[in-house]
Amino acid sequence: MDPIRIAVVGMGKIARDQHLPAIAGNGAFSLAATVSPHDPGMAGIPHHRGLEALLEEGPAVDAVALCTPPQVRYDLAAMALKRGIHVFLEKPPGATLAEVAALSARADKVGATLFAGWHSRFAAGVAPARAWLAERTVERVSVVWREDVRVWHPGQAWIWEPGGLGVFDPGINALSIITHILPRPFFLKSATLVLPENRAAPIAADLEFRDTAGAPISMDLDWRQTGPQSWDIIVETDAGTLKLSNGGAVLSIPSGTEHSEDHEYSGLYGRFATLIRGGRSDVDTDPLRLVADAFLRGRREITEPFHD
């Protein structure tokens, strides 16, 4: 079959670090173009300053990967879907649940694939963790997701604006994992969101969830970490403790520890190609729904200003 001609829209850090190498390493795709109003693009690859210009002037594309901030993603996705072009949405898939639902309905109507790309679900330890937990009773879950925003999002103002999610931008990765591996649904009981007085989005959050059998799930999110970063999920069960560390790359269970190389984005693009070839979509909004619940129900604490 001919490769899927794909354009990358938004040429920031995540596009260059993850999307472009994953596309280059997957024979199901060929990079047809890049789009960015600021980045000059890549040598030998057609480049446009806007998606509309690409769609009007070419080259022709079959799919787009939207790596822009979530606040502007709806209009871009709708523009592509209107032409029957398949759409890969970086996480989070949108700024609101309603706009993602609207995009999903539009994709179904035109017969195009819409894919919400939760990359952390493709970390090496996640699939075996899900399989191991399926046969156990979960008693308690603890999530600690702490990193330094200055390292991972230097100078990115959009993450502090409404719709940018603040500390939930990385925290939603943890939610994407636990919504995938835990055998029972869970829901928010309480939340405290810590907002710097000069920012519109939280820099830290403490959340308490409960699953449908009553097992407590706690989550500690913080963007002020210095030194080693913490991306850990600990699940206590009737058969011992499971731990996913390093964002899901390392799995520890009572029988031992497994270390594997990162393959998150190669896994994402493998999934995207399968969906396109099968004429299907995958638009799971559970992680975003839990973030929306935190903003809806959470108590706000204002702290000192934060400066990059």
Point out the residues that are catalytic: 91
Supply 97's token pair. 């649940």
CA distances from 192 to 8, 94, 155, 202, 290 (A): 36, 23, 25, 10, 14
Query: 216: which strand partners?
Result: 210
Query: 114: which strand partners?
Result: 87
Specify the DSSP element, H or E, that contains 24: helix 20-24
Residue ranges with strand state E in 45-183: 47-48, 63-66, 86-89, 114-116, 138-146
End-to-end Cα distance, the chain: 48
Question: From the centroid of its chain, how far is CA 27?
Answer: 24
- Type of residue numbered 35: V
Give the dihedral sign, CA 151/152/153/154. positive
Query: 35: which strand partners?
Result: 9, 48
